[in-house]
Amino acid sequence: MKRTHTKLSRQVDEKIKNKVVKDKPVWEGSDNVISTGSTLLDLAISGGRFEEGGIPTGIFVEIFGPSGTGKTVLLSQLAGNMQKKNGHIMFHDPEARLNTQFAKMFGLDTSGIKYTIPNTVPEMFKSVRKWIPEKTDNNLYGVFADSLAALSTDMEMDKDEGDKMGMRRAKEFSEELRKTCRIITQKNILMACSNQIRQNLDAGPYGQKFKSPGGEAIGFYSSLRLRCSNATKIKIVQKIKGKDHNRIVGIKVSMEVFKSSVWSPYRTADIYIIFDYGIDDVRGNLTFLKTTTGDTIYKLNEKPLGRSLDHAIKMIEDEGLENELKGKVIELWREIEEKFQTPRKPRIQ
């Protein structure tokens, strides 16, 4: 018995030794990881697996929440970031809302993607299974859909009375996802879809008051679910000719990792979306630094940036300090995460 215990102890010590190199974590390869455009959201999704976080390929992702909480923005940013890595893009637009000018904000060139406006659930998922993209050096493939709630069924489209019971769509989502998800993994495709929410009238006093439509299959087959909520307006005030003028220039949205097979769930992050600009990562990072450290002014590595957030953003951008700011945020975020970790040896299998 003693001999066995010694051997197991050596195996455990070896695992720990392989996991840590010079007291620094060994990160998984991040070539097939796509950024959301927000440093804090990337870290919340997979900061424990990848050095800068992000969404890995080969999984099905649902982004859901009420109207006006940045779902389309986040989806378009993911598609644009994948295209920057020379990935192939298929964009399904059942709502027919994506336009060229909007897509350009996120670096998404619509002329270089496969764009469709599907009517039904089977129509969209069949096209994913049949899609054989051209070979790329890094094998990055992305399928994006905005939104699942807009998809109909053959029964609803072909019959005047439609789907009175409303059950056919849920059944079709279940069938199509069951046939598609293994192909997503095999081809290493990132499939990210937005979805709306509906009132859950059967929730009772303790259940969820809202849920995403399409039945239980979407949540079941999702490896990652991001919930958008609590959108608040970003307002600026300008004094013009001695009078204050107010304008709403964007929104701040709370993002929650509602479900995750990527890393740990229930992490949260605030993202800042500025109209005609997109996700403002500099604004989010500066706010995080100031709030977390308790400083009275905005600072970067002891360099004062002033009390005004807009002035601090201008200084960061004028001096090209975006990457330095991002690095500081990642460093501080990890410092906080480490405080919640309990050091333990790996379980003996």
Cβ–Cβ < 8 Å for 257, 45: yes
pLDDT in tens, 149-197: 999 887 777 766 656 556 788 999 999 999 999 999 988 899 999 999 8
pLDDT in tens, 195-242: 998 877 676 777 777 778 888 999 999 999 999 999 999 999 888 988
CA–CA separation, 73 and 66 (whole Å): 13
Among the listed residues 56, 93, 60, 95, the one whose alpha carbon sits nearest the alpha carbon of residue 179: 60
Give the pLDDT confidence score for residue 23 in this predicted structure: 53
Q: Which residue has the higher pLDDT, 162 or 285?
A: 285
Give the pLDDT confidence score for residue 17 in this predicted structure: 43
Taking the CA atoms of residue 27, residue 81, residue 284 and residue 208 in that order, the dihedral angle to the nearest 10 degrees is -90
Take residue 44 and report the two structure tokens written for it: 């919340």
The DSSP secondary structure of 168-199, one letter per residue, reads: HHHHHHHHHHHHHHHHHHHTTEEEEEEE--EE
Instruction: Indicate whether 12 pLDDT > 70.
Output: no
- Complete domains list, the chain, with CATH: 29-228+253-271 (3.40.50.300), 280-341 (no CATH)
Give the pLDDT confidence score for residue 160 in this predicted structure: 62
Assign 98 a pLDDT band (cuts: 50, 70, 90). Answer: confident
Instruction: Indicate whether 21 pLDDT > 60.
Output: no
CA–CA separation, 46 and 225 (whole Å): 13
The alpha carbons of the chain give a radius of gyration, in whole angstroms, of 23
Give the pLDDT confidence score for residue 268 in this predicted structure: 97
Cβ–Cβ < 8 Å for 228, 258: no
Q: What is the mean pLDDT of residues 73-97?
A: 93
Give the pLDDT confidence score for residue 157 in this predicted structure: 75
CA–chain centroid gap for 129, Å, is 23
Instruction: Indicate whether 313 pLDDT > 50.
Output: yes
Q: What is the mean pLDDT of residues 50-66?
A: 96
Give the pLDDT confidence score for residue 294 in this predicted structure: 93
Average pLDDT, the chain: 87
Instruction: Indicate whether 129 pLDDT > 80.
Output: yes
Take residue 255 and report the two structure tokens written for it: 């993002």
Instruction: Indicate whether 315 pLDDT > 60.
Output: yes
pLDDT in tens, 23-39: 556 677 777 899 999 99
Q: What is the mean pLDDT of residues 118-133?
A: 90
Strand partners, 206: none
CA–chain centroid gap for 230, Å, is 16
Give the pLDDT confidence score for residue 31 in this predicted structure: 77
The amino acid occupying position 156 is E
Give the pLDDT confidence score for residue 134 in this predicted structure: 65
Residue 5: burial class (beta carbons within 10 Å; 0-12, 13-18, 19+): exposed
Alpha carbon of 271 to those of 2, 70, 119, 200: distances in Å?
54, 9, 31, 27
Residue 75: burial class (beta carbons within 10 Å; 0-12, 13-18, 19+): buried
Cβ–Cβ < 8 Å for 297, 55: no
**Pairing mode, if any, of strands 189-195 and 141-145?**
parallel
Cβ–Cβ < 8 Å for 87, 136: yes
CA–CA separation, 102 and 104 (whole Å): 6
